[in-house]
Chains A and B, each alone.
Chain A
């Protein structure tokens, strides 16, 4: 039987790469430390497979078709297509078709219908965290793309429920795989809007606080706040998937810091998964 050996979240943002040197030194240290801590925990978990819950920043999907959820079932995922990510050390990242297909079947059996892709480009949304975490070795990546970029978005409740699908898929996979979940994105930020650059620290701290309590309160809060928050804040959906995968046990906050240079409220979390 497979086991869930960890669930984590880490923020991303292009300016973490493009403007790294402009970030004040104390914030650089904290960001570096947070990514490394998540990386260290993920390495210690010795995950064979990492379910990467991440958005697609127009790297794969367009207005022709923008799925709410898409599982990458291919043997190979492509590295980031952005030119400024050219130094990311992996041009390709191995997938895990057997587990990914099992995840899709588990979802379908439960009444969830994800899109499926046999070859996904994994953009900066995932690859910046992977890069900064400095993993000892790269697990196979099973991407779960969640639409938090182009409305209409899946409901926050559905995202939490997707987490329980991940948990169920791990527990019902017959081979002895060690599986971890990494949610990327959030917390508050605003991209390409009049409010671009705004970070809502109050919203972020309340969101983090509510992750420790009953899911209904968290969902209710996000349903109310997300429509008025910066568009990047929608990526908290990925955190909800990780939360569901961890059976809503709550997380240890590794760090949270608003970073104006990066225009993101940067959050890093490690869930209590319960095995």
Chain B
């Protein structure tokens, strides 16, 4: 099942400058994208398995790459989740 607004957030982060703005202030994006509270909490805590159930895997990988998670850590959290 796809979470449309979460997917849209990840898609929009690809525009120039947007990812940097998100990294600087995630909270301001949460309201703009109508994200459910549990989704917001998952983003705050970098909960990879929770988010993985709601977005396309390529967008998932892009998101955690862009917020600075190393691939090995990303893969570990995916496997262990």
Contacts and interface: CB of A to CB of B under 8 A. Distances in A.
Contacts of A58: 10-11, 14, 56, 58-59, 62
Interface string B1-35: 01010011011001000000000000000000000
Contacts of B78: 192-194, 196
Contacts of A59: 14
B11 A192 contact: no
Interface of B (DSSP majority class): helix
A149 B14 contact: no
A149 B56 contact: yes
Contacts of A196: 57, 61, 74-75, 78
A194 B4 CA distance: 22
B57 A192 contact: yes
A110 B77 CA distance: 47
B64 to A, nearest CB: 9
Most buried by B among A58, A59, A63, A196: A63
Nearest to B2: A63
Interface of A (DSSP majority class): loop
A256 B53 CA distance: 33
A150 interface: yes
Interface residues of A, number: 16
Contacts of B60: 192
Contact of A192 (B4, B7, B58, B79): B58
A62 B12 CA distance: 9
B3 to A, nearest CB: 9
A191 B81 CA distance: 16
Given A63-B4, A63-B7, A192-B52, A57 B58 contact: yes
Contacts of A191: 57-58, 61
Q: How large is the interface on B (under 10, 10 to 19, 20 to 34, 35 or more residues)?
A: 20 to 34
B28 to A, nearest CB: 21
Given A62-B7, A63-B7, A192 B14 contact: no
A188 interface: no
B46 to A, nearest CB: 14
Contacts of B59: 58, 192
Contacts of B8: 62-64
Most buried by A among B7, B14, B61: B14
A192 B66 CA distance: 13
Most buried by A among B7, B11, B57, B78: B57
Given A149-B56, A231-B57, A194 B7 contact: no
19 contacts: A57-B58, A58-B10, A58-B14, A58-B58, A58-B59, A59-B14, A62-B11, A63-B4, A63-B7, A81-B14, A149-B56, A192-B52, A192-B60, A192-B61, A192-B78, A196-B57, A196-B74, A231-B57, A231-B58
Given A58-B59, A149-B56, A192-B52, 7 more contacts: A58-B10, A58-B11, A62-B11, A63-B4, A191-B58, A192-B58, A192-B59
Closest 3 CB pairs of A and B: A192-B57, A192-B61, A192-B60
